[in-house]
Amino acid sequence: MKKFFLSTVFALMALCASALSIGDSFSVDDLTYVLKSYGVRGSSYPGVWVTGLSDAGKAKSDLLLYIPTTITYNGATYCVKQVDMQAFADATNLTGANIGYGITDIGVWAFQNCTNLESVHIPSSISNISSGAFMGCSALKSVYIANPDPSSFTTSTNAFPNNSDMHLIVPKTVSDCAANFAASPVYSRFAIDQSSNCHDFSAPDGSMFCVTKAPTLGSAGEISMVGLNLKDTDAYKPSATYSVGGYTYKLVSVAYKACFVNKSIKSLDLSDATNLTMIEPSAFDQCFNLANVNLGSTVTSIGKYSFCHAAITGITIPKSVTFCSGAALWLCNDLASIVVEDGNTKYQSMGGILYEAIDEQPQSLRLLKCPGGYPNEALYEYMFP
């Protein structure tokens, strides 16, 4: 009994010794942090700010910096919320900075005079890029911002240097994203490109994601697949959920032009993506080698041109679908048959042709799509869309 009591006391003493108080600093890998807030049990991790490079980080040359979503120290997990004022000022060993999702604020002069910093990736969670944040970064050429709406966060007018030939890379998943940034006084001097390389995080299966709903410890966040980089396979089978930095995210959509002109994908299987509801317009447009598609069981919306030019010969529309654009399968010239799963109240197929139920006229159907490879289609092209 005495041994048990002593062991319990020593365990509690060790726990208290390792616990952090607000304002305490500590280092993990290349970075130093300070505790700024306690977490809420079951809802949020304690919050920390990045205050600079650790001794290990300072000792490295040509450092490609990654600021993570969460870190673990002495067995406890902390979420990273902010890059502190002057955190990396004069850190000339930095060549690139990738700021993880969840960080909301880049402080005043945070990267000031990082003269070898060439690129920076800023997450969609950003709410403020402060005055002078990247001033004096004379080598800075590429700025990636995963938030497609410049009006949803604040950028100081002098946050970035006046370097020549600076490029701003923004998501390609919103058609007018580049125009919105070009209209902003802060970003109008950048050359602006849209790319799937502008995202919040990627997964081993090649998926690139942007977060559309923030997670908590108690509930999963939501993500949209915004790009795909298949390496060792030509088949893509996404999962229902993905775990990153101690949080879980549900895959709920495939974004606008997510896989536009992706020539490596030949097979798409959404049967495991059981939270996926939306395939946005042009999601797989001009995937010329995409020959096999399984839409799974939860998709509700299939947008315009979503599979335009695909090499598929047949496709089944799940009973879950409540909207399918008549142009979703446009120019699929090898497509011979469209089948609608039993139980779908919105769409029907007869003879391999897709029809839509007319709500205001019970039992009436409107022809929606005749497959591009339908036999003798040329005889009826005047009446088929």
Q: Please state the separation of Cα 354 from the chain's center in Å.
A: 33
The Cα–Cα gap between 7 and 4 comes to: 5
Q: Please state the separation of Cα 70 from the chain's center in Å.
A: 17
pLDDT in tens, 304-324: 999 999 999 999 999 999 999
The Cα–Cα gap between 235 and 206 comes to: 10
Output the six-digit token pair for 52. 């600079």
Question: Phi first, then psi: what are they for 288, rounded to 5°?
Answer: -65, -20
Amino acid in the structure at residue 46? P
Closest to 96 (Cα-Cα) out of 52, 146, 137 = 137
The Cα–Cα gap between 302 and 73 comes to: 45
Closest to 46 (Cα-Cα) out of 28, 71, 11 = 71
pLDDT in tens, 30-64: 999 999 999 888 778 999 999 999 999 999 999 99
Q: Are strands 278-279 and 301-302 parallel, antiparallel or unpaired?
A: parallel
Task: Flag whether pLDDT at 93 surpasses 50.
Answer: yes
Residue 373: which pLDDT band, with cuts at 50, 70 and 90?
A: confident
Q: Are strands 292-294 and 267-269 parallel, antiparallel or unpaired?
A: parallel
Q: Please state the separation of Cα 212 from the chain's center in Å.
A: 8
pLDDT in tens, 333-363: 999 999 999 999 999 999 899 999 887 665 6
Residues 291-325, buried b or exposed e (16+ Cβ, 10 A)? bbbebbebbebbbbbbbbbbbbeebebbebbeebb
Residue 3 burial (C-beta neighbours within 10 Å; 0-12, 13-18, 19+): exposed
Amino acid in the structure at residue 334? D
Task: Flag whether pLDDT at 18 surpasses 60.
Answer: no
pLDDT in tens, 55-74: 999 999 999 999 999 999 99
Higher pLDDT, 240 or 365: 240
Output the six-digit token pair for 15. 């726990």
Question: Phi first, then psi: what are they for 187, rounded to 5°?
Answer: -105, -5
Judged by average pLDDT, the poorest of 8-22, 139-153, 292-306 is 8-22
Q: Please state the separation of Cα 338 from the chain's center in Å.
A: 31
Round the average pLDDT of the chain to a whole number and report it.
Answer: 91
Residue 239 burial (C-beta neighbours within 10 Å; 0-12, 13-18, 19+): middle
**3-class SS of residue 12:** helix
H/E stretch holding 249 = strand 247-254
The Cα–Cα gap between 261 and 289 comes to: 10
